[in-house]
């Protein structure tokens, strides 16, 4: 056998042939944008808080490098291993989410983070992709798990997570996880009338949040009544887009980063608009859209129900998070503190999104084995225990 033939049959070559290279490349393009925009946005923010100019840059370089490694390493896993990782990781992150209510760091009235030596961990960020994979398996189980159908267990898991997120409170994350679960129920064949009822309940929950949580009410009222309340951040962001025009003012020439406290995080898209213009903003939107659309098209050729439902949940969470961030910056929806995947500053955000995209790549990679076949998850656990 020739050297080239041996190379073609190597594990890496097989992975490269079977992985969705378009989605993989798009993910690394977004990581590249993250590096560039952190160089533009973060020094001014660091100086304002009395830190070194390069503090956020150096930390984000580490976060994005780890994120890139996560995307690659997770994408090489077998589907059953992804499920096992999601079950174990989801259990740990569920426990950590409970811990935030007792020992969490309080920021702006919410307890969502656990303080670690080099970063603050937001467990719910990692819980989101794990939830999508585990519920994807539960919803598509051909048989009941013990005395209960998988759908009932999945619903109970959603209710538990919803109660925890409400207690933090994190209404934005709760909305995303609710959308993920409704999308999975729809893809799994739930009648459209019941999906509509679920959407109605979600809207009712939004109305309830308006009356129960003052910060939600404040954001909605400021969106609906532009002449009432403090609009400094969104007005500044909108001016940034106007100043950028078609091609932008040029790298380092923007002013929004000097004015907005969250220019490196929630409003990094405004920095992109001012310094690089409409063309680059549209390019970023296209890259996000390509990941979502490409994944959905790939699912149309998939036969494994678990892969279809789990991946639909993962890509729904990813696409919705990107939409909420960009739409908030453009004043199309009320402002919401949600990061732009791979581009906004934040270790939890970068690594959890990398975990989600790595899972998408692993699940949609052409490979043998259906986790819903006989043995399934239980067989996987037995295999790992005996290894």
- What would the 3-class secondary structure string for the chain be? CCHHHHHHCCHHHHHHHHCCHHHHHHHHHHHHHHHHHHHHHHHHHHHHCCCCCCHHHHHHHHHHHHHHHHHHHHHCCCHHHHHHHHHHHHHHHHHHHHHHHHHCEEECCEEEEEECCCCEECHHHHHHHHHHHHHHHHHCCCCCECCECHHHHHHHHHHHHHHHHHHCCCHHHHHHHHHHHHHHHHHCCCCHHHHHHHHHHHHHHHHHHHHHCHHHHHHHHHHHCCCCCCCHHHHHHHHHHHHHCCCCCCCCCCCHHHHCCCCCCCCHHHHHHHHHHHHHHHHHHHHHHHHHHHHHHHHCCCCCHHHHHHHHHHHHHHHHHHHHHHHHHCCCCCCCCCCCCCCCCCHHHHHHHHHHHHHHHHHHCCCCCCCCCCCHHHHHHHHHHHC
Give 1's pLDDT tier (boundaries 50, 70, 90).
very low
Which pLDDT score, from 0 to 100, does residue 150 have? 85
pTM over 0.85: yes
Q: What is the mean pLDDT of residues 318-344?
A: 90
Which pLDDT score, from 0 to 100, does residue 234 have? 83
For the chain, give the percent of residues with pLDDT over 70.
85
Which two structure tokens, joined as six digits, stand for 129? 């992709």
- Of 45-54, 128-137, 184-193, 364-373, least confident by mean pLDDT is 364-373
The yes-or-no verdict on residue 334 having pLDDT over 60 is: yes
- Tens digit of each residue's pLDDT (9 = 90 or more) over 53-86: 888 899 999 999 999 999 999 999 999 999 999 9
Which residue in the block uniquely carries the two structure tokens 């932008």?
A: 248
**Among 373, 356, 379, CA closest to 303:** 373
Q: Which is higher by pLDDT, 317 or 332?
A: 317
Cβ contact 31:72 at 8 Å: no
Q: What is the mean pLDDT of residues 302-310?
A: 94
Which pLDDT score, from 0 to 100, does residue 371 have? 66
Q: What is the mean pLDDT of the chain?
A: 85
Q: What is the mean pLDDT of residues 353-360?
A: 97
Which pLDDT score, from 0 to 100, does residue 172 have? 85
Q: Which is higher by pLDDT, 41 or 378?
A: 41
Which pLDDT score, from 0 to 100, does residue 311 have? 97
Which pLDDT score, from 0 to 100, does residue 207 have? 73
Which pLDDT score, from 0 to 100, does residue 181 have? 94
Q: What is the mean pLDDT of residues 180-189?
A: 92
Give 139's pLDDT tier (boundaries 50, 70, 90).
very high
The half-sphere exposure of 194 on its side-chain side, counting CA atoms within 13 A, is: 11
Which pLDDT score, from 0 to 100, does residue 137 have? 95
Which pLDDT score, from 0 to 100, does residue 376 have? 43
- Of 247-256, 347-356, 364-373, least confident by mean pLDDT is 364-373
Which pLDDT score, from 0 to 100, does residue 103 have? 82
Which pLDDT score, from 0 to 100, does residue 6 have? 47
Max avg pLDDT among 46-50, 135-139, 219-223:
135-139
Cβ contact 154:291 at 8 Å: no
The yes-or-no verdict on residue 383 having pLDDT over 50 is: no
Report the largest interatomic distance among the alpha carbons of the chain, rounded to a whole angstrom.
75
**Among 355, 359, 356, 350, CA closest to 119:** 350
- Tens digit of each residue's pLDDT (9 = 90 or more) over 261-303: 788 888 999 999 999 999 999 999 999 999 999 999 999 999 9
Spatial distance between the Cα atoms of 164 and 158, rounded to a whole number of angstroms: 10
Which pLDDT score, from 0 to 100, does residue 223 have? 65
Spatial distance between the Cα atoms of 271 and 254, rounded to a whole number of angstroms: 7
């Amino acid at each position: 056998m020739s050297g080239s033939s041996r190379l073609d049959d190597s594990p890496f070559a097989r992975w490269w042939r079977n992985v969705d290279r378009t989605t993989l490349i798009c993910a690394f393009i977004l990581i590249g944008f993250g590096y560039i925009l952190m160089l533009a946005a973060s020094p001014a923010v660091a100086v304002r808080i009395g830190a070194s100019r390069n503090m956020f840059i150096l930390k984000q370089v580490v976060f994005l490098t780890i994120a890139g490694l996560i995307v690659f390493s997770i994408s090489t896993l077998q589907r059953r291993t992804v499920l096992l990782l999601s079950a174990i990781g989801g259990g740990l992150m569920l426990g950590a989410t409970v811990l935030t209510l007792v020992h969490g760091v309080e920021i702006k009235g919410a307890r969502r983070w656990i303080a670690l030596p080099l970063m603050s961990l937001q467990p719910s960020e990692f819980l989101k992709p794990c939830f999508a994979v585990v519920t994807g398996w539960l919803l598509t189980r051909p048989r009941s798990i013990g005395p209960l159908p998988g759908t009932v267990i999945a619903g109970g898991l959603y209710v538990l997570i919803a109660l925890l997120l409400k207690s933090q409170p994190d209404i934005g994350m709760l909305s995303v996880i609710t959308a993920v679960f409704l999308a999975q129920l729809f893809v799994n064949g739930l009648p459209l009338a019941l999906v509509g009822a679920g959407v109605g309940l979600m809207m009712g929950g939004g109305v309830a949040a308006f009356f129960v949580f003052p910060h939600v009410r404040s954001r909605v009222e400021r969106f609906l009544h532009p002449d009432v309340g403090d609009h400094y951040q969104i007005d500044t962001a909108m001016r940034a887009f106007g100043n950028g025009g078609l091609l932008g003012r040029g790298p380092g020439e923007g002013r929004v980063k000097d004015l907005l406290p969250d220019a490196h995080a929630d409003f990094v898209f405004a920095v992109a608009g001012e310094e690089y213009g409409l063309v680059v903003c549209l390019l970023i939107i296209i890259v996000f859209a390509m990941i979502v659309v490409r994944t959905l098209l790939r699912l149309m050729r998939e036969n494994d129900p678990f892969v279809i439902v789990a991946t639909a949940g993962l890509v729904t969470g990813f696409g919705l998070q990107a939409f909420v961030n960009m739409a908030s910056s453009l004043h199309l929806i009320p402002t919401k503190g949600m990061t732009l995947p791979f581009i906004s500053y934040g270790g939890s955000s970068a690594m959890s999104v990398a975990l989600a995209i790595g899972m998408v790549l692993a699940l949609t990679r052409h490979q043998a084995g259906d986790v819903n076949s006989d043995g399934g998850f239980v067989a996987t656990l037995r295999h790992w225990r005996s290894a």
